[in-house]
Structure 1
Amino acid sequence: MTKRAYNFNAGPAALPLEVLQQAQEQFVDYAGAGMSIMEMSHRSALYEQVNDETQSLLRELYQIPSNYKVLFLQGGASTQFAMIPMNLLPAGKVGAYVMTGSWADKALKEAKLIGETAIAASSEAFKFNRIPDLSTIEIPDQAAYLHVTSNETIEGTQFKSFPVTGDVPLIGDMSSDILSRPVDVSQFGMIYAGAQKNLGPSGVTIVIVREDLVQESPKTIPTMLRYDTHVKNNSLYNTPPSFSVYLVNLMLKWVQGKGGVAAIEQYNRDKTQLIYQTIDQSGGFYKGFAETADRSTMNITFRIHTEELEKQFVKESEQQGFVGLKGHRSVGGLRASTYNAVPLESCKALADFMADFQRRNG
């Protein structure tokens, strides 16, 4: 096998080599069925077993209470931006949003098409380089829910704790940090995440939702956009993204084998510390974008003092086998995404490259 790239892509992102190799081994013949899981009927007992086991694994790893449903949907988090207000924002109520950056903004824009919205707190005045202080969050009296984006992939900020919302359901878009650290699921009415950063490949979206919120969806919205459709059919109302769900299954077993979510959290901290330390000890050659207290352990955003050097950094890093270090086009700069499956060795190699680049260009 040729040398694997140092993959710091923001999503779709790195998957563990052992997971890919296991999928490769089972690709043409899953569980002795004489066919790939991609060829298999989603009504078959074998696929239903994968569907059910994947739910059970996620429940166990995330300690999901019994009054929550686990759904495997399609359309990414972007479809959830619309499904949430369609299902949970009735007339006379307000969808409240904490504005933390690019993805929170996209969620809010979709909700505005559906019903009344309000910004409960915002860090826009600081160019989204921090998370608003939880004490500044103002939930409207008629709030249907409070929506937060737990980790902003583009700006590189992350909630370290979550607001207590009382009777108002808290909804979390955890697309870029789900399963990277323990979370008290019971604090949320709903958690959702595109799988393609921490849980598997693109194609499947995970929704963890409290049963009482989705027992009856409004009859006026299309069948496929109703949560109760998918709850009542165990995520098998229509043909699911079966291969993606299967790979999520393998990813969850990989997390389990690493010692669970708490062990993964420590591993992630160790990895990102290597890179943040290099930034902090560079004497200003590298400058982190996010405020230190709100730095993400998933997306490390930083700048060099000239765009010319940033372009040179990207070019030289690519020549050394690094992938995905160019910052998002909307904010520029540099970004290293260090999701669960990014190895410690890749982060060590990046820290070494950064130190060497500074020595040669400082």
Structure 2
Amino acid sequence: MNNTQTLQSQLRPLLFLTAIFFLNFSIRIIISPLLPTILKDMSLTGDQAGSLFLVSASGYFITLICSGFISEILLHKKTIGLSAIVTGFFFIMTGLCDSLTMMRAGIFITGMGAGLYLPSGIALLTASVSRQSWGKAIGVHELAPNLSFLLIPIICEALLLLMSWRSILMLTGLISVVLGINFLKFSKVVDFPGQAPMFSAIVPLLFLRSFWIMIVLFTMGVLSTIGIYAMLPLYLVDEHGMLRSQANTLIALSRVLTLPVPFAVGWISDRYGIKKTLSTVLILTGASTLGLGLLSGTGLKIVIFLQPLLSVAFFPPAFSALSSIGAKETRNIMVSFTVPVAFLMGGGGAPTLIGFLAAKGFFSMGFIGAGIIILMVAFLPIFLKVKTH
């Protein structure tokens, strides 16, 4: 009976946090399947549409780096609740915006709200679950982004039959606000303050070659997942003449097989080594991303299924590598700076650049360029200095 109670007490905060993470991630990517509709309704160009992701990533970048200052004052639980409520409220406001400038402002503040979640979410998760269950708990928590990639295009297509894209943004924001309020009211988690980043601890990292390599590699990882996902529906509709519903269904189906990939690649990484696994994943990801820009018809559809399978395989060995370089004391700081920079460049800058090329009539060149860049850096893991024990 005690074991059951212990399991239940660990499961409740895990599911609560995973649900909030799912909404947090969904709000950041839901613009993508709606982009063809938004572009048509607001008469946007490709570069204007792509800039929405840079604006969101910029807001996310700022608060993800500074979140420790806020959680030190509010404690982690209130920080998570604040993140869900602020993110949801300003996403509702974004749905009400008529001009591109106001929409960018709404998405920027929404991104800032979203950036508060991850450090506090991981801190509360590991505090609420016994240490021997950390691996399983984090594995469940990390299902949220993959489920979001899978479900959001399908949900958007279903909701577009009933309401406008603006109503979808407002509904999603409302759910986030309600979930945040419920988390603050009903969640029973071990609460404690966060730790503000000590910027003096960053200086040694600046002289660590592996730190800079990991920033480049993580940027490629985010580019190959979020960056490509952001512009793919618009690309399939504009360049390949697919119906929006067909493009979103195809992209959603391509994500089904990605769910078990992190577990499988974790085993491969343990068996064959982090460096070899990372280089192999980057070569295959780069080649498949290149295929998105070069192929059409059946070949394109095959690559649409292969590319996400290969790209999500990057993160398990990459996080293992990130945890295996530098001193133990600087590990959290390394994560705190590597991930935000990668999201800003790979998840914000890359879609903006692809959108710019689209506006100039070179949409496919954006995907070709992304594939070439990923292939060019595939050799970098060789130069990582990782601890093997």
- Compute the TM-score of the two structures, normalised by the length of structure 2: 0.25
Structure possessing the higher relative contact order (Cα contacts under 8 Å, 6 or more residues apart):
2
